[in-house]
Amino acid sequence: MDWASVLYLGVTGGLLAVFILIVLRTCGKRNRSRLEEPKHRMLDDD
Amino acid sequence: MWEKKPVLFLLLATLAILVGTIVTMVIPFAWVNTEADRIATVTPYTPLQQAGRDVYIREGCNNCHSQTVRPLVADVLRYGEYSKSGEFVYDRPFLWGSRRTGPDLARLGGKYPDAWHTQHMEAPTSMIPKSNMPAYAFLNQNPLDPGYIRKCMKVLGFPYTEADIAALNGKTEMDAMVAYLQKLGTGIPKAAAAAVVGDLKNPFPKDPGSMQAGQQLFAQNCAACHGSHGEGGIGPELEPESYQDADLFKTIYNGITDNGMPSFAALGSTKVWQLTNFVNYRKEH
Amino acid sequence: METPPYNYAIVRSFIVWSILWGVVAVLVGVLISFQLVEPALNLPPYLTYGRLRPLHTNAGIYGWGIGSFFALFYYMVQRLCRTPLWSDGLARFQLWLFNATIITAAVTLLLGYTTSKEYHELEWPVDIMVVVLWVVFSVNIIMTIVRRREEQMYISLWYMMAALVGVAVLYLVNAAEVPVSLFKSYSAYAGTNDANVQWWFGHNAVAMVLTAPPLAVFYYFLPKSTGVPIFSHRISIIAFWSLVFMYLWTGAHHLLWTPVPDWVQTLAMAFSIMLIAPSWGSVFNGYLSMNGQWHQMRENYLVKFLILGITFYGLQTLQGPSQAIRTFSAFIHYTEWVPGHVHMGAMGWVSMVLFAAIYYLVPRLYDRELYSIPLANLHFWLVLIGQLVYSVSMWIAGLQQAGMWHALNSDGSLTYTFMETLVEMYPYWWIRAIGGVIYLAGVLVFIYNLVRTARSGKPAADAVAA
Ligand code: HEM
Ligand code: HEM
């Protein structure tokens, strides 16, 4: 494999990993109530 | 993490934006307008042409006209050879446009004589009755400012001589516009004239149906230059019964492009034969 | 409304001015629609189609779109952060700079001072005004967020902040130009490079002005109007990151089949299709928020505007990716189809959402009840019909035009001359112009309703006062 393909695959893999991390972190059970909280709080700002 | 830290969030968002930006917008600079793109016959604009280009930008012609021919069959047939990157290296800004309310102008240069352009710009509907292009007769009234144009050439870094600048005196924006339009797409050699293939035998000699079709085609394609009755105008008078069918066919099909008679190969040979019949055998009252 | 003392005066002022510029945009839109069928309506040199069309797009996107976003961002940021605006003085200055900029833009465009770049026509001195305007706005919003009293940031704030940095980066890079005189400059980039930079900008103006801010507005005003929270804040987070990441790769879908390098075009095509996912993430989030609330579509005029708006957004983000496919682009690029696409987004999605937000706010800002709900419904139907007439007629026109442009005879020659294809467009252009008039009528009903509300609406019952 030439260096261009390595770079290409590396960058693509890296981006994919970041995406999966964001999804896991956002959807994980641990964060569930914390990340959903703002949608309730924005309704009782009066 | 970032859900509670606006500054960190802004940084991350900027980063997300920059990835695609760098790959698709910054890196292509390494490919485009490099030696690989260069076309030796493409030259910068002369002062007169550049002045015309600036008028083109000012009037927003790009809102109706594109300036790129795509490598698609219909595009190439209608407008000519498809556009190459190297043809645009002197275009600041590019004027490819995004709409074709009017036809593409990328290969316009040499298609019509200057007189056609002047008359068309002054009153498009006088030549193409159903056109919706605005009239630009006022360009005749606006003289060029040679000093200002010199400044433009300096900023662009295009070569010019003081004689070029002096020659602008007394010229109008209309002259500049026509000069610009005549330059468009001439940076690459003209594609070889479409060759007429097969023996040139009139498939419908003087048949009345074809005469009528020819009459309509003439009104649409020829009347603007040869007059609605072939009495002449920008092009010469066309006298009936004065041509050999085969020669006439060739003239219409290939044009006399050096002298302002466009090629009508794009109409297809059937229509050109109908025109041939009409021009040669029509009865004027 | 007493504690803390939110600055609503600035919200009110921006709304008034944005509506004024919106009317200008629509009026000029109607005028250029008629110019296309009746060229004698061109009044050279100042009022020709070539100079008026950029005035239309600038008044629409910057005057009406951004003007409203100024108002709505200032409202949302204070409410969502539970804190007053960071600087009232700066906001006031911004209001006047905004109007000065739009007026300068309108005058200079009619005088023919233009860079020719779509959605970035303004020449360098006006560019500088725009940059100052944006910096002042961004600082005020960001400082307000930094000093917020609500720890977590609701999704609307995310989209707002993304728009702030996005527009800044795009505008500055695309503005690179070398001045010749006060009102003339040449682009710093040439030819194919210039085209690629311009459409990187152009498409992301769609992302950062016509997508992210209206999404912020939608995510705020939908729950506020229905009284129930959005379906999932977490879906909106994933959609957010995907959207801001992917949009930037897609600019070259405006340049398919041009001399721009093929691999750039292919990336643009691929990412455009991937964009369906985050776009529809928001659409589903909106629809699912209506679970058990669909009866409000009948009872609540605000919900009607918002749900129709997000529906048009959904259609827009399916149509857009299809246009980004090379084969389909070969067909519809340059045709009337594209204005159909544009106005489903502009008149359907963006304007519908803005109408809803303004209807929600004006009674609260003036402490009155809306003058007439039947009139609001009439407005809804007029703009909906006007927009559909516009878009549908242009799609049909575009398909016919494309078909004629590409038609070949059996001997391989073209079937139609350019003029034969042009004359076929006239009936559609008439229909579009009539659609525009219907839309304009809707906008006038909207304004009448708001003016009556402010002047003589019933003082608000407690339920409405917020
Ligand atoms: C996933 C989302 C979208 C994609 C992939 C997309 C794709 C496209 C493509 C490929 C074109 C070029 C058409 C052509 O000239 O051949 C286009 C034009 C356009 N789109 Fe979209 N679109 C999307 C969403 C939107 C939205 C939400 C709006 C909001 C109003 C919008 C506004 C526009 C505008 C203003 C143009 C015209 C640009 C010009 O040529 O001046 N688009 N879009
Ligand atoms: C009654 C309402 C409207 C009418 C009659 C109208 C009419 C038009 C016309 C005739 C064009 C030129 C299309 C062409 O190139 O052939 C146009 C372009 C455009 N208009 Fe509108 N318009 C209206 C509302 C709006 C609004 C509210 C916005 C923005 C918020 C908007 C944004 C645009 C944009 C971005 C373009 C450029 C499209 C492109 O490049 O393909 N318009 N409009």
The alpha carbon of residue B17 is apart from the nearest alpha carbon of chain C, in Å, by: 6
Dihedral angle over CA of B110, B116, B118, B119, nearest 10: -160
The verdict on residue A31 lying in a domain is yes
Three-state secondary-structure class, residue C459: strand
> Cβ distance B58 to C112 under 8 Å?
yes
Summary mean pLDDT of chain C:
95
Q: Is the domain of B246 the same as that of B125?
A: no
- Bridge partners of residue B261, in order along the sequence: B256
> Cβ distance B234 to B260 under 8 Å?
yes
Look at residue B2 in the predicted model and tell me its pLDDT. 72
The verdict on residue A25 lying in a domain is yes
> Cβ distance C371 to C449 under 8 Å?
yes
The verdict on residue C454 lying in a domain is no
At B31-58, the pLDDT tens digits run 899 888 899 999 999 999 999 999 999 9
| 3-state DSSP of C283-318 | HHHHHHHCCCCCCHHHHCHHHHHHHHHHHHHHHHHH
The verdict on residue A32 lying in a domain is yes
Summary mean pLDDT of chain B:
92
Q: Find the domain containing A25 and state its range.
A: 19-46
User: Tokens 């900027």 map to which residue?
Assistant: B14
Q: Find the domain containing B127 and state its range.
A: 47-183
Say whether pLDDT at C279 is over 80. Answer: yes
Q: What percent of chain B has pLDDT over 90?
A: 74
Tokens coding C236: 């909106």
Instruction: Name the residue facing B84 among C157, C259, C261 (closest C-beta).
Output: C259
> Is the ipTM above a cut-off of 0.85?
yes
The verdict on residue C33 lying in a domain is yes
Ligand closest to Cα of C318 equals 1
- CATH number for the domain that contains residue C55: 1.20.210.10
Distance of CA B61 from the midpoint of ligand 1 (Å): 22
The verdict on residue A5 lying in a domain is no
Which of B78, B69, B68, B100 minimizes the C-alpha distance to B268?
B78
Say whether pLDDT at C319 is over 80. Answer: yes
A26/C237 touch (CB, cutoff 8 Å), yes or no: yes
Tokens coding C347: 């008149």
End-to-end CA distance of chain A: 61
The verdict on residue C175 lying in a domain is yes
Q: Is the domain of B229 the same as that of B132?
A: no
The verdict on residue C197 lying in a domain is no
Q: How would residue A44 be classed by pLDDT, with cut points 50, 70 and 90?
A: confident
Which chains neighbour A (Cβ–Cβ under 8 Å, 3 or more pairs)? Answer: C
DSSP structure class, residue B229:
T
Q: How would residue C51 be classed by pLDDT, with cut points 50, 70 and 90?
A: very high
Alpha-carbon Rg for chain A, nearest whole angstrom, is 18
Q: Is the domain of B132 the same as that of B220?
A: no
Taking contacts as CB-CB distances below 8 angstroms, the residues of chain C near B136 are 44, 48
User: Tokens 């070539």 map to which residue?
Assistant: C50
C:102-131 residues touching chain B, CB 8 A cutoff: 112-118
Q: What mean pLDDT comes out for the span C263-277?
A: 97
Which residue of C lies nearest to B30 if distances are taken between CA atoms? C193
The alpha carbon of residue C338 is apart from the nearest alpha carbon of chain B, in Å, by: 9
Query: In a mutational test of the pocket of ligand 2, which residue from C42, C57, C58, C102 has the highest number of ligand atoms less than 8 Å from its CB?
Result: C57
Taking contacts as CB-CB distances below 8 angstroms, the residues of chain C near B156 are 186
Q: How would residue B276 be classed by pLDDT, with cut points 50, 70 and 90?
A: very high
Q: What mean pLDDT comes out for the span C429-444?
A: 98
Q: What percent of chain A has pLDDT over 70?
A: 98
The verdict on residue B120 lying in a domain is yes
CA dist B146 and B170 (Å) reads: 10
Say whether pLDDT at C2 is over 50. Answer: no
- CATH number for the domain that contains residue B222: 1.10.760.10
The verdict on residue A6 lying in a domain is no
The verdict on residue A10 lying in a domain is no
Using the CB atoms, write b or e for C160-198: b if 16+ within 10 Å. bbbbbbbbbbbbebbbebeebeebbbbbbbbbbbbbbbb
Say whether pLDDT at B270 is over 80. Answer: yes
At B147-175, the pLDDT tens digits run 999 999 999 999 999 999 999 999 999 99
Nearest CA to ligand 2 atom 43: C29
The verdict on residue A13 lying in a domain is no
At C204-228, the pLDDT tens digits run 999 999 999 999 999 999 999 999 9
Q: Is the domain of B163 the same as that of B213?
A: no
Look at residue B285 in the predicted model and tell me its pLDDT. 52
Q: What mean pLDDT comes out for the span B129-143?
A: 97
Q: What percent of chain C has pLDDT over 70?
A: 98
The verdict on residue C450 lying in a domain is no
Look at residue C464 in the predicted model and tell me its pLDDT. 45
The verdict on residue B41 lying in a domain is no
The verdict on residue B194 lying in a domain is no
The verdict on residue B24 lying in a domain is no
At C223-253, the pLDDT tens digits run 999 999 999 999 999 999 999 999 999 999 9
Tokens coding C427: 């009936």
Q: Is the domain of B259 the same as that of B226?
A: yes
Q: Is the domain of B214 the same as that of B176?
A: no
Overall domain count for chain B: 2
CA dist C276 and C279 (Å) reads: 5
Overall domain count for chain A: 1
Q: Maximum CA pair distance of chain B?
A: 89
> Cβ distance C406 to C335 under 8 Å?
no
The verdict on residue B133 lying in a domain is yes
The verdict on residue C387 lying in a domain is no
Look at residue C1 in the predicted model and tell me its pLDDT. 43
CA dist C136 and C158 (Å) reads: 19
Overall domain count for chain C: 1
Q: How would residue B193 be classed by pLDDT, with cut points 50, 70 and 90?
A: low
Q: Find the domain containing C33 and state its range.
A: 1-188
- Enclosing H/E stretch for C240: helix C233-246
As to burial, measured by CB atoms within 10 angstroms (0-12 exposed, 13-18 middle, 19+ buried), residue C221 is buried
Contacts of C382 (CB under 8 A, 6+ apart): C438, C439, C441, C442, C445
The verdict on residue A3 lying in a domain is no
Q: Maximum CA pair distance of chain A?
A: 61
User: Tokens 């297809």 map to which residue?
Assistant: B268
> Cβ distance C40 to B48 under 8 Å?
no
Contacts of C13 (CB under 8 A, 6+ apart): C71, C95
